[in-house]
Amino acid sequence: MLLCVTFIDPTPVPLPPGYRLAELDDAADRAAMQEVDRWAFASDLAPEDEPVQVWTLEPGRSVGVWHAGARGTALAAVHSSFAFRLQVPGGERVPASGLTWVGVHPGHRRRGLGRAMLHAHLRRSRERGEVVSVLNAAESGIYERYGYGIATHRVALSLGRGAGLRPVPEAEDLVVELETIDPEHHSADVERVHGAVVRPGWITRDTPALRTAHLVDWPSARRGAERKRLAVVRDAAGRPRGYAVFRRKDSWGEENLPAGTVEVHDALALDPAAARALWGTLLDLDLMGQVKAYTLAPDDALLGLLTELRGIGRRVHDDVWLRILDLPAALRARAYPCGVDVVLEVSDPLVPDNAGRWQVRGGPGGVQVTPTEEAAHLAVGIADLGAAYLGGTSLTALAAAGRVTELVPGTLVPAATAFSWPVSPSTGWGF
Ligand SMILES: CC(C)(COP(=O)(O)OP(=O)(O)OC[C@H]1O[C@@H](n2cnc3c(N)ncnc32)[C@H](O)[C@@H]1OP(=O)(O)O)[C@@H](O)C(=O)NCCC(=O)NCCS
């Protein structure tokens, strides 16, 4: 069973006796990885889902913990990561390790396996030259201890059918096509729109497996709704300018009035006219009573198009958690909307290379990030710097909660202004 296993040194967090951290083989260990994953997430694959499942994990990036017990050796924990490129303020894409599949079999939880895997993940990601790591958290209490902070938020909206939208004259020139999703046929159009978005936090789906997995229609996920549909907005030349992945679920009220729901899983538009055409269609589908959208950016165009914001249901959720792995590289890669000259005292117990005093000096044309002996202006932990990194959480908001300390009066607001960004960060899909 354990032939050709590459064990990984778990220092500085040794595992209890009988546990070994090791690289996992994408093919040979796949069944064991899926078994741990299903135990950890209390989920089982429905027989009808088997034909559509897609293996998205990338070779050489999965690590697990084997347990040698009285009844043999079995996999007790897994995690993996994607080799993403993450857009930062200004549009540059930095190498980002997209942590995924973190799972410990419930029979082995709270023995330090998760901690050992996270330490290995941070070390291996840094060795690969990845500048940040990102993840979607299953629970809020898990990842801050490893230096992750909430860097992007997503907004879920619930709207009544026919909600009013402001006119955008050019929308009349666009066509909205409605089709049943076929991943092979539609992924090119979808990714053409998705890949053209300019927004911090944006992660493109760079492998064919991720593109396909994003569009496949799990029969068990329908829960009484129809198959996944696609709305594509095209200009006069046939070029896609926007799209939405959605399903409708029919329902009839007590008075026999149509009260169906449109569930919009993913909606993007590249310009105001495309946004108007797309939402005009989704908000006016026959027999529907309401429209629910789940993954909007906090500044999505829909919020500016609606003529009435009262009465809509609006919830804000944490989206992507970000961990800075290489502080000078990360701070140099992003753009700053104005001049900046600040000394940060950064604490990072897990990545000592990030810790200490850093001077960030420069402006919209670029900054220098250098270690310094100068007195610090602001003190910040690495998780909170990660939260502020994409410009979606202000340093002033963190300071108001006692998470950033202004050591020199008058330095917080200029630094917060420089670390802000006019476009809300968003990722728009889960991984
Ligand atoms: C979350 C999970 C990976 C943690 O693994 P684990 O091996 O039990 O965690 P560890 O024993 O290494 O715990 C390390 C620390 O995290 C804490 N912790 C672990 N899981 C936690 C949770 N869900 N919420 C809050 N704290 C948690 C532990 O209490 C411990 O705290 P300490 O630093 O104060 O001692 C595991 O419980 C699991 O697989 N859960 C179900 C699937 C899941 O949620 N995966 C995460 C996907 S994003």
Would the CB of 360 count as within 6 Å of ligand 1? no
∠ CA 410-415-416, rounded to 5°? 105
Q: Specify the pLDDT at position 5.
A: 83
Distance CA 126, CA 418 (A): 27
| Any domain includes 139 | no
407 secondary structure, DSSP code: S
Spatial contact of 369 and 336, defined as CB atoms under 8 Å apart: no
Residue located via tokens 């789906």: 205
Closest CA to 150 of 201, 103, 86: 201
353: domain CATH number? 3.30.1050.10
Q: What is the token pair recorded at 107?
A: 């029979």
| Any domain includes 426 | no
238: domain CATH number? 3.40.630.30
**310 with 184, same domain?**
yes
**166 with 278, same domain?**
yes
Judging by beta carbons within 10 Å of its beta carbon (0-12, 13-18, 19+), is residue 140 exposed, middle or buried? exposed
| Any domain includes 12 | no
**168 with 230, same domain?**
yes
Last residue of a domain, one of 87, 113, 130: 130
∠ CA 127-64-114, rounded to 5°? 85
Element holding 367 (H helix, E strand) = strand 366-371
- Cis peptide, bond prior to residue 12, ω within 30 of zero: yes
**48 with 78, same domain?**
yes
**182 with 214, same domain?**
yes
Q: Which domain holds residue 225?
A: 155-318
Is 143 among the catalytic positions? Answer: yes
Q: Specify the pLDDT at position 239.
A: 97
**pTM for the predicted model, two decimal places:** 0.96
Q: Specify the pLDDT at position 254.
A: 87
**97 with 161, same domain?**
no
Kindly report the number of other CB atoms within 10 A of residue 97's CB atom: 26
Last residue of a domain, one of 296, 318, 340: 318
Ligand 1 pocket test, pick from 119, 142, 319, 323 with the greatest ligand atom count within 8 Å of Cβ, gives: 142
**166 with 308, same domain?**
yes
**289 with 349, same domain?**
no
Would the CB of 96 count as within 6 Å of ligand 1? no
Spatial contact of 359 and 347, defined as CB atoms under 8 Å apart: no
Q: Measured in angstroms, how far is the CA atom of residue 104 from the centroid of ligand 1?
A: 8
Q: Which long-range contacts does 212-216 make (Cβ < 8 Å, 24+ apart)?
A: 212/54, 212/183, 212/184, 212/187, 213/54, 213/56, 214/187, 214/190, 214/266, 214/429, 215/181, 215/183, 215/186, 215/187, 215/190, 215/245, 216/52, 216/53, 216/54, 216/183
| Any domain includes 145 | no
Q: What is the token pair recorded at 193?
A: 């729109």
| Any domain includes 292 | yes
Residue of 19, 143, 246, 389 with catalytic role: 143
| Any domain includes 147 | no
Q: Specify the pLDDT at position 4.
A: 67
Element holding 413 (H helix, E strand) = helix 412-419
| Any domain includes 312 | yes
**226 with 362, same domain?**
no
Q: What is the token pair recorded at 204?
A: 């493109």
- List all residues 6 or more positions away from 231 whose beta carbon is below 8 Å from its beta carbon: 176, 177, 178, 243, 244, 246, 278, 281, 282
Q: Specify the pLDDT at position 2.
A: 53
What are the angstrom distances between the C-alpha of 114 and each of 6, 19, 323? Answer: 19, 12, 17
**294 with 357, same domain?**
no
**403 with 270, same domain?**
no
Q: What share of the chain is helix, strand, coil (3-state, %, to 5)?
A: 25, 30, 40
Judging by beta carbons within 10 Å of its beta carbon (0-12, 13-18, 19+), is residue 204 exposed, middle or buried? middle
Is 431 among the catalytic positions? Answer: yes
Q: For the chain, what is the domain count?
A: 3
| Any domain includes 137 | no
Would the CB of 260 count as within 6 Å of ligand 1? no
The pLDDT profile of the chain, 431 residues, written as one tens digit per residue, is 455 688 998 778 899 999 999 999 989 999 999 999 999 999 998 999 999 999 999 999 999 999 999 999 999 999 999 999 999 999 999 999 999 999 999 999 999 999 999 999 999 999 999 999 999 999 999 999 999 999 999 999 999 999 999 999 999 999 999 999 999 999 999 999 999 999 999 999 999 999 999 999 999 999 999 999 999 999 999 999 999 999 999 999 889 999 999 999 999 999 999 999 999 999 999 999 999 999 999 999 999 999 999 999 999 999 999 999 999 999 999 999 999 999 999 999 999 999 999 999 999 999 999 999 999 999 999 999 999 999 999 999 999 999 999 999 999 999 999 999 999 999 989 99
**262 with 184, same domain?**
yes
